Structure 1
Amino acid sequence: MRRAQRNRSQLPPCYNEGFLEKRSFRDKVGRRLWTALCGNSLFFYNNNKDNDYVEKQDLSNFISLTDDLSMDRKLDAARLHLRLKEDDIYLTAPSLEARELWKGFIFSIVKLEVPTSLNLLPGQIYMLKKALEQETERRKELAEKSAVAQAPVSVPMTEPGDYLSLHSEMPACFYRVFRDEAMLLLEKHKEQGNLLLRLSRDGSAFAVTTRQDFNGPVFRHYRVTRIPDGSYAIAIDNPIICPTLHHVTEYLIEKTGGVFKPLVLEHTYEKNIVFVEDNQENGERTLRTTSDSPVAPKVSPIPAPRQKKCSKEENIYVDPSDEENNVNQDKPYPSPALSPAPGGKVLVHQKTVPDMRIGPGGALLPPNERPRSATMTDGTRPKRPAPTMPVQEILNDELRRALQLRYVSD
């Protein structure tokens, strides 16, 4: 059968592959081809790096697979006789061990059971079981797709509002991943859960993926389809009908006695304040954690208003602008108290404005001077205080006396 233009990535899952020499009943000479058992078919390539196969052999018309005991030019080669309804194919494996493994995979796929009469190692038997599980699920999916295609109405049409309400009410263990991503997610977070709900590969249904440990990680996938009445069915041999997707996960948890635990990933937050500190001396950087003890932040005290202190030595002539702000400016300033002068005398402050007189020619006369008149007598003339010698004259007089004394002594 000639090849179809189909990439290797579009083929069913591959269970076993390797070089085999292929010769049919019509061929006179065999060809060494890279052979891959994908799904229920054998695909033949010119080499292991090609993406497009050159031949394909369907195993749905399988009759038998036996050892070919005829002699071969290669003493270590092992031949197989594959009988089909349309053709007989002779395959030559590079060794007896490789022949047994090919027989095991082909029998497991076409008969859907692991053969017990072959000489295989425990690890090889485990590989056959894994291939059998994948092939069984693949055929179930194909059967469901075929039934959906033949049914007049498989899934009821929903309005956009119904679609949004459906996804807004998804279980907490629902993730928008496919099979491979789901397996990686469960493997990475195996301590937090072993069951999740996801979309199927074709997007027309859902699937439940589980993970358990049995001589290594074991994954199971259960298809969940929506039926016309709006409920969901777990597609197993005896389908389980559940009204919602929440009931699907709850059913699996309940029937397994709590062995299955939904995988729910929550966002985590730091419990302490962690920061990176640079050491100025050696240039190293270390992670530091702040103290756990609750300490109230320090707040600087509010400074008290400054109070103006007046000392006794302060000048009595104070500028009114330096007074306190709370002083009422409308009130008259009180008369300043009497302060002793440097000489010990009390200065008497004048409280009234003296009468100012104008002399001849419009000149302003001092208050203590009066214009002379003939009528003024000694009784009416105001008495003037005795004139006092200015300080400068006193200093000059003392300096003069000191110089005279010095001149006399000389």
Structure 2
Amino acid sequence: MAATRRAQRTKTQLPFCYYEGFLEKRSFKDKISRRLWASLCGRSLFFYNNSKDNDYVDKQDLSSFISLTDDCSHDRKLDAARFHLRLEDDDIYLTAPSLEARELWKGFIYSVVKLEVPTSLNLLPGQIHMLREAVDKEIERLKDIAENSATTQASITVATTEPGDYLPVLSEMPACFHRVLREDAENLLEKNKEKGNLLLRPSRDGNSFAVTTRQDFGGPVFRHYRVTRIPAGGFAIALDNPITCTSLHDVINYLMLKTGGVFKPLVLEHTYEESIVYVEDNKENGEQSVRCASSSPVSVPTPKLPPKPAPRKKVSDPKESIYLNSDEDFSEEEAYVPPLALSKPPGRGLVHQTSMPDLQIGPGGALLPPTRPRSATENPATKPRRSTPPLAVAESLSQSFNEELKQKVLLRGVSD
């Protein structure tokens, strides 16, 4: 089987270009040096035949950067300046058209790889400002890649031959990647058919990807292609003869290349409102109208705090036991209110009964009231005299009369 030609990424799909210009490139792989148009996009050097080409002919990744030094050997061109780019897997000899261009190339390469502006180069203040902007953009780009990689690693992973070992998708996702399902992908392509007809999405099983395309053939026609992850590295388009690609970008470019540019990736740009727009209800007729708020700055008044209430004085409850400790701390300013004095009821207090009185039974089995014990403090001299009731007087008179009557009867009997 013939080797599949690797699809290239176009300039629109590459990262932001920090610096570009003509360079003569020669390495151990190249027999002769070639004059190419070089573009520093992200942490990679892309080489084109000329500045108008859309597809690059060579790419050099700078992630394995070791050093960058000047080459003092003379060139056939007196104004040219050489420098040596040393990587872990290759040595590249580059020639810039001038000394100033060489300093700029060295400054941008150092800034992108080290993420700091070099201080040992002879650069103008404006050029140093350009290097600082490149460092800020590269830091932001790497941050976005790390966030996308973390999200993709959590949602889409493919198991290798060893259980528990996973290969996350660490490469940068294409711009046409949309996290939608099959039905949503078809609706998205149908609504935005003027912007593109191809998108990349996660597969339903969560372990692979899928490419969804839309074309008009008597109506909308949708097709879906499965893209699986190869454990050894890369991706494969699951066709009758599987097509292997090194990255998801190459998957998209391969489909575009094989169809002669018929497939166009769907890239949606997020738009944001430039003014505050809101819907207002009319209370009189119940109709709604769209209003646009003014964008003039408005000073928001600082809300005033309510006054702090004064501490209330605690009045002690007279019924509360004086032996109970309160959980609250009272300040010295709180006035002490003495407990109210309870007035004693008039009259003599009740004599408390300490023993059970003896019960007395009268004639007929009736209970008689208990006899009240004489108080220890009560004596005949201090005991108040009680008035004799009338019944007692009548009984005493009847007894004396009976005694007198009996004596008379006895005397008459003696005389007879």
**TM-score (ref. length: structure 1):** 0.38
**TM-score (ref. length: structure 2):** 0.37
Larger relative contact order (CA 8 Å, sep ≥ 6) = 2
